Amino acid sequence: MTSRDIRQKYLKFFESQGHKIIPSASLVPENDPTTLFTGSGMQPLIPYLLGEKHPMGNRLVNSQKCLRSMDIEEVGDNRHTTFFEMLGNWSLGDYFKAEQLPWFFGFLTESVGLDPSKLYVTVFAGDESLDIPKDDESVEIWKRLFKESGIEAKDIHIGSEQDGYEKGMQGGRIFYYEAKKNWWSRSGVPETMPAGEPGGPDSEVFYDFGLTHDTKFGDKCHPNCDCGRFMEIGNSVFMEYIKNADGSFGKLPQRNVDFGGGLERITAASNGNPDVFKIDTLEAIVAGIQSALGRNGSKANYLDEKYKKSFRVVADHLRAATFVMADGMMPSNNERGYVVRRLLRRAIFHIDKLGKGDGVLEEGINSVIDSYKNSYPDLDKNRKKILSEAGAEEERFRHTLVTGMREFEKVAVGGRVSGAQASTLFTTHGFPFEMTTELARERGIEVDEEGFHKEMEKHQEISKAGIQEKFKGGLADTKEETIRLHTAHHLLLASLQRVLGPHVKQRGSNITAERLRIDFSHPQKMTSEEIKLVEDLVNEKIQARLDMVRREMSKEEAEKIGAEMEFGAKYGDVVSVYFLEDKDGKPFSKEFCGGPHVKSTSELGHFKILKEEAVSQGVRRIKAILQ
Ligand code: SER
């Protein structure tokens, strides 16, 4: 079966169970500061999982484009990809376990035709400290479903690593695991969830590809083992909890189901081949890259183990970069743009490992578009733009490679590449570490790999703090108008807190050259008097010519002085805090922020609120301008 067949069957199956088909949201999330890209189907639906009414009803189904850029280094084996499609179905306070599990089982065994004896499932083992019970209800449902297929399903408490992973399968079919494996929220296990975040226990389905266990991954195999025998193909999250401010868990106003299944992985299971790069869409991309290389005289072939990893990296990265560019995000040095840049540059580096690169990037991207254009017409519509942006990036990178080579030659004279040198080659000259090691190997020179990783950790900590702070600012660009609105945004948040009360917290922001937008917590609609008071206060502070001063301090210190942080955002150990203060140094506003800002509020002009509206329960949105 092709992935398109499976996607269609899935949507139809749930449509026939009363679900409305909704389109995939953009890879670029709106109002979600937790990730750079949409990384799961539930992210765009958060307000509805929290209780807001969805215009299409309370049963929804879709296939959502997802990107997990943190998996970039994992790509190269038979299952990891950065981009993937997540089949999703949602119950927004409607059905629950008794419907969800039989439907998914029925979809897999009847619509896709998977052999039920190859399916294994996991459930939540419970957590006494949080007063969340183990999921016996799901176990009973699974037992019945397997029994109807003639399989006696034994349940095993496998719990944690200490507690039983080493005991292995024990003849089981249903496995209880702790929260690390069977709990889902955007921010991981219960302990790491911020207050106000929804989550819940989940039940996952694994497909057994029947491979022999590889003891490199542990003494014994079990469904969550990474040896390759089992692959997770679907996850039903029973989202009924919300984290309270005191760390305990309460119930959401409604019980939800958030199901996510990997389209590529389900297709791979239906092929009986664990290599996701052999499903129709990815196979066509690999073939496109291979034939372009062939025209340049390369003999590199996907079936040759020597080349497999590079083919996978190129196919994955070009697919991911193409989809992100179609959603409007082009290669650059900022946040998301930097991810696109990295994807393209890693792809080019691996193309060069496979042969002569001329024209291969372009053909690779064309094959991504051709492979997906029937399901995603936007790709075709943006083909010209995507190709020209990617081509320009290739040119820049090839230029970098020339300088990088020159720098590498200088370092190589010393007969050894230190960690700091390798790191400078990468961070200053954009020369990939893989390239450094490859060249060094050719010449029999040693590279201090450990030293390089240490240097990079240091560097990443600094830039992570930078990226997250910048992201928090929600700036679309760094045009002068945008920067002025950014400073006005700080004035506005502080003014809202003065007028409405200290419960007002920033929940999202987006600033373009035309207007600012802030989402903030507040239980009801603002009155017109309140709006006027806020506007007046902002304008008063503009007149008062407050200075914008940036200070670096430890995160602890910044918290102590009560600097504003955005809900859900994560910060590094050293942060920058922006103060708006009068000539005596008395602050009107202090916020964690990466800037940039104007120097004085006197540069802002007249502030005006255009609109105040609801975003979701307890969250309001203001759009405002400077005149
Ligand atoms: N949110 C869950 C996941 O990403 C299920 O959709 O696995």
Q: Ligand 1 within 6 A of 201 CB?
A: no
What is the tens place of the pLDDT at every residue in 341-389? 999 999 999 999 999 999 999 999 999 999 999 999 999 999 999 999 9
Distance 261 CA to ligand 1 centre (A): 8
What is the tens place of the pLDDT at every residue in 604-617? 989 999 999 988 77
Q: How far is residue 27's CA from residue 68's CA, in Å, rounded to a whole number? A: 10
Residue 466 host element (H or E) = helix 449-473
DSSP-derived secondary structure letter, 561: T
Q: Ligand 1 within 6 A of 90 CB?
A: no
Task: Report the atom number in ligand 1 closest to the C-alpha of 39.
Answer: 4
Distance 39 CA to ligand 1 centre (A): 9
Distance 333 CA to ligand 1 centre (A): 30
Main-chain phi, psi angles of 150, to 5 degrees: 80, 20
Sorted by sequence, the CB contacts under 8 Å of residue 377 that are 6+ apart come out as: none
**Residue to mutate, 49, 184, 203, 241, ligand 1, most ligand atoms under 8 Å from C-beta:** 184
Residue 86 host element (H or E) = strand 83-92
Distance 388 CA to ligand 1 centre (A): 35
| Residue 287 near residue 104 (C-beta atoms within 8 A) | no
Distances (CA, A) of 52 to 39, 55, 435: 22, 9, 50
**Residue to mutate, 40, 89, 233, 239, ligand 1, most ligand atoms under 8 Å from C-beta:** 40
Q: Ligand 1 within 6 A of 29 CB?
A: no
- Residue 470 has what pLDDT? 41
Distances (CA, A) of 106 to 13, 112, 434: 9, 9, 45
Q: How far is residue 132's CA from residue 220's CA, in Å, rounded to a whole number? A: 29
Q: How confident is the model at residue 330 (pLDDT cuts 50, 70, 90)?
A: very high
Task: Report the atom number in ligand 1 closest to the C-alpha of 88.
Answer: 6
In the 3-class helix/strand/coil scheme, how is 269-309 assigned residue by residue? HHHCCCCHHHCHHHHHHHHHHHHHHHHCCCCCCCCCHHHHH
Task: Report the atom number in ligand 1 closest to the C-alpha of 186.
Answer: 1
Domains in the chain, CATH or no CATH each: 3-50+62-75+86-271 (3.30.930.10), 276-470 (no CATH), 474-626 (3.30.980.10)
What is the tens place of the pLDDT at every residue in 179-195? 999 999 988 899 988 88
Q: Ligand 1 within 6 A of 88 CB?
A: yes
- Residue 30 has what pLDDT? 80
619 three-state secondary structure: strand
**Tokens 């720098």 -> residue:** 407
User: Helix axis angle, 360-372 relative to 280-295, nearest 10°?
Assistant: 150
Q: Ligand 1 within 6 A of 516 CB?
A: no
| Residue 239 near residue 254 (C-beta atoms within 8 A) | no
- Residue 471 has what pLDDT? 39
Sorted by sequence, the CB contacts under 8 Å of residue 548 that are 6+ apart come out as: 487, 490, 578, 579, 580, 597, 598, 599, 600, 601
- Residue 429 has what pLDDT? 81
Assess whether pLDDT exceeds 90 at residue 125. Answer: yes
587-592 and 607-616 beta bridge pairing? unpaired
20-21 and 59-67 beta bridge pairing? parallel
Residue 240 host element (H or E) = strand 230-243
Q: How far is residue 341's CA from residue 343's CA, in Å, rounded to a whole number? A: 5
Share of the chain above pLDDT 70, in %: 95
**Residue to mutate, 14, 38, 42, ligand 1, most ligand atoms under 8 Å from C-beta:** 42
Share of the chain above pLDDT 90, in %: 72
- Residue 466 has what pLDDT? 45
Q: How confident is the model at residue 468 (pLDDT cuts 50, 70, 90)?
A: very low
Q: Ligand 1 within 6 A of 84 CB?
A: no
Q: Ligand 1 within 6 A of 607 CB?
A: no
Q: Ligand 1 within 6 A of 156 CB?
A: no
DSSP-derived secondary structure letter, 223: T
Q: How confident is the model at residue 328 (pLDDT cuts 50, 70, 90)?
A: very high
Distances (CA, A) of 223 to 133, 173, 217, 233, 302: 22, 9, 12, 11, 29
Tokens of 272: 């009986």
Q: How far is residue 445's CA from residue 408's CA, in Å, rounded to a whole number? A: 12
Assess whether pLDDT exceeds 80 at residue 522. Answer: yes
What's the whole-number mean pLDDT along residues 428-438?
83
**Residue to mutate, 60, 86, 92, 100, ligand 1, most ligand atoms under 8 Å from C-beta:** 86
Q: How confident is the model at residue 456 (pLDDT cuts 50, 70, 90)?
A: confident
With CA atoms as reference, report the closest residue to 416 among 444, 452, 453: 444
Task: Report the atom number in ligand 1 closest to the C-alpha of 260.
Answer: 6
Q: Ligand 1 within 6 A of 22 CB?
A: no
Q: Ligand 1 within 6 A of 42 CB?
A: yes
Q: Ligand 1 within 6 A of 612 CB?
A: no
516-521 and 506-511 beta bridge pairing? antiparallel
- Residue 10 has what pLDDT? 98
Q: How far is residue 281's CA from residue 2's CA, in Å, rounded to a whole number? A: 8
Tokens of 604: 């802002």
State pTM to two decimals.
0.73
Q: Ligand 1 within 6 A of 184 CB?
A: yes
**Tokens 């300088």 -> residue:** 403
Q: Ligand 1 within 6 A of 237 CB?
A: yes
Q: How confident is the model at residue 467 (pLDDT cuts 50, 70, 90)?
A: very low
Task: Report the atom number in ligand 1 closest to the C-alpha of 237.
Answer: 5
With CA atoms as reference, report the closest residue to 7 among 222, 253, 267, 241: 267
What is the tens place of the pLDDT at every residue in 228-252? 999 999 999 999 999 998 989 999 9
What's the whole-number mean pLDDT along residues 45-58?
93
Dihedral angle over CA of 315, 316, 320, 322, nearest 10? 0
DSSP-derived secondary structure letter, 7: H
- Residue 317 has what pLDDT? 98
Q: Tell me what the pLDDT averaged over the chain comes to.
A: 91
DSSP-derived secondary structure letter, 152: -
Distance 234 CA to ligand 1 centre (A): 8
| Residue 596 near residue 582 (C-beta atoms within 8 A) | no
Whose C-alpha lies nearest to ligand 1, atom 5? 260
**Residue to mutate, 258, 263, 264, 266, ligand 1, most ligand atoms under 8 Å from C-beta:** 258
Distances (CA, A) of 569 to 183, 194, 494: 21, 9, 19
Assess whether pLDDT exceeds 70 at residue 473. Answer: no
**Residue to mutate, 64, 202, 231, ligand 1, most ligand atoms under 8 Å from C-beta:** 202
Q: Ligand 1 within 6 A of 204 CB?
A: no
Distance 49 CA to ligand 1 centre (A): 13
Whose C-alpha lies nearest to ligand 1, atom 4? 40
